[in-house]
Amino acid sequence: MELAGSVDLVLLDLDGTVDRSGRGFRDCLRHVRWQARSGPDTTRWLMRVDGEGYAPRTEVAAALFDRFPHLLDAHSGCVDKLLDGGGAEFVTLDEQVKNALVAQRERGRALVVVTNGPTEQQEEKLARSGLTGLVDAWAVSESLGLRKPDPEIFRVAAAMVGMGAQGAWRIGDSATADVGGGAAAGCRTVWISRGRPWPEVQPEPSFLAIDLVTGLEVIG
């Protein structure tokens, strides 16, 4: 069914979507891996433990210290930096992503970032990447006391630019938090796969795309 409403509003996820390769977090993981004196398998293991950012920070830290006990001593600071900063100091904005966002605003669309995470950490990512000058607003879970997939966070984000979430586009890489939460708020949804198969959960997205640039092309 065609949805009527805020077709000129795009609600964007941040980690793994705008930072389309998860580069900032992955670079931070490589730093931890070096401190742990381990190989590339540690990065893959920690990405699984982190659960795309949804695992409790205390559980991630416990898993790290259990696997690498020496981090408790000389290099505990690198774990704190990973968990508290989330790789914010490594985040950069891909030029293709920047151009795609500029093109959307030139079309007259409002862009709002909706992300879970600590306010200070996520706003640092926005500032370092230059996104603060490319989007109209941002909604961070800690500031609002709301977390994806709660549909209310999308409604509040839309209201920041005087619009409604019904009929808006939600683009993100989490099947549950972005597609599920966005759909519950009445959004059309685009799932950023990064080469992953759709996990066959409901609801399904309106479209699948390999990355944000492709996702923005899909919505026109």
CB 199 within 8 A of CB 192: no
Cα 176 from Cα 204, distance rounded (Å): 10
CA-nearest of 9, 198, 208 to 114 is 9
Q: What is the pLDDT of residue 62?
A: 81
Q: What is the pLDDT of residue 78?
A: 58
Read off the pLDDT of residues 9-18 as tens digits, 9 standing for 90 and up.
999 999 888 8
Q: What is the pLDDT of residue 101?
A: 96
Residue 175 is given by DSSP the state I
Q: Is 153 exposed, middle or buried (0-12, 13-18, 19+ CB in 10 A)?
A: buried
Domain ranges of the chain: 9-21+94-219, 23-89
End-to-end Cα, the chain, rounded Å: 18
pLDDT mean over 116-140: 92
Residue 177 is given by DSSP the state I
Is pLDDT of 19 > 80? no
Is pLDDT of 91 > 90? no
Sheet architecture: strand order including 9-12: 137-140, 110-115, 9-12, 169-172, 188-192, 207-209
Is pLDDT of 71 > 80? no
Q: What is the pLDDT of residue 145?
A: 96
Is pLDDT of 1 > 50? no
Residue 13 is given by DSSP the state -
Mean pLDDT value across the chain: 83
38-40-44 Cα angle (round to 5): 110
Q: What is the pLDDT of residue 4?
A: 42
Give the list of residues 6+ apart from residue 30 with CB closer than 8 angstroms, or none.
43
Is pLDDT of 106 > 50? yes
Cα 204 from Cα 198, distance rounded (Å): 8
Which class in CATH covers the domain with range 9-21+94-219? alpha beta
pLDDT mean over 183-212: 95
Q: What is the pLDDT of residue 11?
A: 98
Cα 208 from Cα 30, distance rounded (Å): 29
Q: What is the pLDDT of residue 24?
A: 46
160-89-27 Cα angle (round to 5): 115
Cα 133 from Cα 98, distance rounded (Å): 10
Is pLDDT of 64 > 80? no
Instruction: Report the length, in residues, of the chain.
Output: 220
Read off the pLDDT of residues 189-198 as tens digits, 9 standing for 90 and up.
999 998 889 9
Percent of the chain with pLDDT over 70: 74
